[in-house]
Structure 1
Amino acid sequence: MTQSIQAFTSDRLAQARALAGLTDEALRVRAITAARDKSAGDLWALTLAYLSSDTSAGVKLSVHTLRAYRKGVEVLVEHAGANAWNLLHPGRREPSLFVASLTASGLKPATVQARVAAAGALYRALRWAGATDADPFADVKRPKDRTKGVVKNPPYRADFVQAMLAEADVQEQVLLLLLTHAGLRIAEALAVEWEHVDLGRRRLLVAHGKGDKARIVPLSARLREALSALQDGRVAAPGSGGRLLSFRAYSTAYERLQRLALRCGMAQEFRGFHAGRKYAGTQLYAAVKDFTRVAGFLGHEQVDTTRRYVELPEDDLDDVVEGFR
């Protein structure tokens, strides 16, 4: 039996080296074998090695992105097995039928798009390994979601945020305020260290934002107060790395805020982390009326992305239209 690619289970860079360090022929044979056997584990290991070593984000791809890619690879391999695909030489119409089957299963357009992105990553990895020249998802049409993201998942309401802050312990307060006042992504919030905080200048360095881009965001009075309280009670534990929060796992942060919402009697209103970031963007836009400035604050490269984060009031144009002549 061919040695499993899955054996390379050390850190991501080591896995990438283990595969990328093979001769061209050895890597090609491994990839061909994994595709022939439709081994989801081996194909994911190959995809992970490619993503870690031959993309701009490299080993700094977020855990959430990798989780979505892995799920997408598993779904594609399962579909290929059930429908007798030859993964290295798929039929011309098979990718479109795969997308159609995802849509027919009731998945939301955004989820279908994520699955197709993962499938594309798998084929880039197979080409990287020299196993195929196929690029079957290059021209596949993906479903579009006509509903704006800010409608599907709107910002949290002020009363929800205030109720959560009132019930939260100091670490939960800091986490909530990093999301709702500083506009950080959850991965950015969990990665903040004390050396990134400048209470005197009211600034926070986001050292490794999405795409490994750094930015500086202002600290609100409420967030500075929570940070000071956290700092006053801090006991630097060995190996703590200077992190603000004692927890760093996405799942732990989610569970803590979910339990907090339950204690507040608002469990049904808790919708994860992104609605907090939208809350920050919406508040800032209401004050400055400038999408470009909000984009810089949130760390968006494109202003069009920012527009999907800001909820505009229904009466936003009433006063302007009132004065028409």
Structure 2
Amino acid sequence: MTLAVYHGDLLAQTREWTNLHDDELRRRAVKAAGDKDIPALVSLTTAYLAHHGGSGVLTSPRTVEAYALGTRQFIEYATTQAINLLRPNRHDAQGYINAMLAQGRKPAGVQLKVAAAGCLYRALRWAGATEADPFRDARVPKDRTPGIIKRPPYSEDELADVLEKADIHAKFLLFLTAHAGLRISEALALEWEDLDEAAKRIHVRSGKGRKARIVAMSTSLARATRHYRGLFGPGGPDHTDGKRTTTATHVFRYASVMTARYHIQKAFTVASVKFRGFHPGRKYAGTRLLQQVKDFGRVAAHLGHESVDTTRKGYAQLAADDLKDDLSGW
């Protein structure tokens, strides 16, 4: 069986389960768990996530897809290990965690898989199919290495090499991630009216957790924005581009992260720089800004982090000898 990735109306998908009578809801959930029916259990987990999750029907498609993938992977493991989903034994959950760690998965990635599997069991309990809560006492060891050490930012030279080889779309996208510090989803969601190169600011309307914020532009980003708008903005010489048109208000031709990754990865390949995702660009922005302003709070606001700890642990670092000038007179 293959996993159907969510593309439709989340509310409609939720109602496939919430419209059922309680007895029918339980019957279907019990059957799906007994058969280890991946599509049905993914659908049930998605319905629970959208009905009782923290964001409800506003849960982002990326979160839905991540939980769907995690649910599928746990069911596949349960199938190979002959685990009874409705009556797991007390070692099954920790066994799943240990198996992933033994395969070399990092604790942070394992924690995401555990979150999805835990959501599956919350969904099964919600449906009345079981009372089992196998992940309640399961433990994933903490990784003490800061995220910025494990996954460092792109260097100045790496970005310069890629910018030299990138086409106009990839170059502008790099500026938005490495100077404005935008998440890739925030960059792709931009509309022309969100960019104000005269005032050097960007209006991010729906960041992580649906939080809006105003982000300052660097001088070079403001210059790049003027150039990009002149080429591709409404009324520009190239106002149509592939499946998306600038008259439809969106800034980028890329409709999805996968498409953006494909195109920008080509620029990295031509520049002989290893592409490590979009986040190292955000980390470049965070680290460079911190070295200038020496204020984690201001950097966190620029990156759209709710907690300064997130910025401190994973997105920005001061040089090891940052205090040498302050200590020189001691």
Per the alignment, residue 244 of structure 1 pairs with 251
- How far apart, CA to CA, are the structure 1 residues paired with 2:82 and 2:103? 19
- How far apart, CA to CA, are the structure 1 residues paired with 2:308 and 2:33? 40
In the superposition, relative to structure 1, how do residues 259 and 9 fare at CA in structure 2: closer, same or farther (>3 Å)? closer
Q: Contact conserved, 1:170 with 1:226, CA < 8 A, in 2? A: no
Q: Secondary structure at the match of 1:233?
A: helix
- Taking the TM superposition and a 5 Å limit, the aligned residue runs for 1:183-222 are 183-222=181-220
Moved more, 130-139 or 154-163: 130-139
- How far apart, CA to CA, are the structure 2 residues paired with 1:194 and 1:221? 18
Counterpart of 1:90 (choices 88, 91, 96) is: 88
Confirm whether residue 291 of structure 1 aligns to residue 296 of structure 2: yes
Q: Contact conserved, 1:156 with 1:276, CA < 8 A, in 2? A: yes
Q: Look up the equivalent residue of 2:258 and give its one-letter code.
A: S
Counterpart of 1:119 (choices 94, 105, 117) is: 117
Per the alignment, residue 80 of structure 1 pairs with 78
Q: Contact conserved, 1:284 with 1:294, CA < 8 A, in 2? A: yes
Q: CA RMSD in A?
A: 2.0
Query: How far off is 1:35 after superposition?
Result: 0.7
Per the alignment, residue 329 of structure 2 pairs with 323
Identity percentage over the alignment?
A: 46
Q: Contact conserved, 2:179 with 2:285, CA < 8 A, in 1? A: yes
Q: Show CA shifts across 1:165-214 (max 9, x none).
A: 22222211211011001111111111111121122222211111111111
Query: How far off is 1:239 after superposition?
Result: 6.4
Query: How far off is 1:300 after superposition?
Result: 0.9
Q: Contact conserved, 1:181 with 1:223, CA < 8 A, in 2? A: yes
- Taking the TM superposition and a 5 Å limit, the aligned residue runs for 1:39-118 are 39-118=37-116
Counterpart of 1:264 (choices 264, 268, 271) is: 271
In the superposition, relative to structure 1, how do residues 137 and 165 fare at CA in structure 2: closer, same or farther (>3 Å)? same
- How far apart, CA to CA, are the structure 2 residues paired with 1:10 and 1:228? 36
Counterpart of 2:16 (choices 13, 18, 23) is: 18
Per the alignment, residue 146 of structure 1 pairs with 144
- How far apart, CA to CA, are the structure 2 residues paired with 1:322 and 1:139? 51
Q: Structure 2 length as normaliser, TM-score?
A: 0.90
Q: Structure 1 length as normaliser, TM-score?
A: 0.91
Confirm whether residue 255 of structure 1 aligns to residue 255 of structure 2: no
Q: Contact conserved, 1:179 with 1:186, CA < 8 A, in 2? A: yes
Confirm whether residue 160 of structure 1 aligns to residue 158 of structure 2: yes
Q: Look up the equivalent residue of 1:297 and give its one-letter code.
A: H
- How far apart, CA to CA, are the structure 1 residues paired with 2:239 and 2:9? 27
Per the alignment, residue 282 of structure 2 pairs with 277
- How far apart, CA to CA, are the structure 1 residues paired with 2:244 and 2:68? 30
The number of equivalent residue pairs is 317
Q: Secondary structure at the match of 2:317?
A: coil
Gaps of 5+ in 1: none
Per the alignment, residue 304 of structure 1 pairs with 309
- How far apart, CA to CA, are the structure 2 residues paired with 1:23 and 1:196? 46
- How far apart, CA to CA, are the structure 1 residues paired with 2:152 and 2:306? 21
Q: Show CA shifts across 1:16-70 (max 9, x none).
A: 1222222222222211111111111111111111222322223443444333322
- How far apart, CA to CA, are the structure 2 residues paired with 1:23 and 1:163? 60
Gaps of 5+ in 2: 233-237
Q: Secondary structure at the match of 1:253?
A: helix
Q: Contact conserved, 2:290 with 2:316, CA < 8 A, in 1? A: yes
Q: Contact conserved, 2:167 with 2:267, CA < 8 A, in 1? A: no
Q: Show CA shifts across 1:263-303 (max 9, x none).
A: 1122x3x2110000001111111111111111111111111
Query: How far off is 1:124 after superposition?
Result: 1.6
Query: How far off is 1:236 after superposition?
Result: 4.0
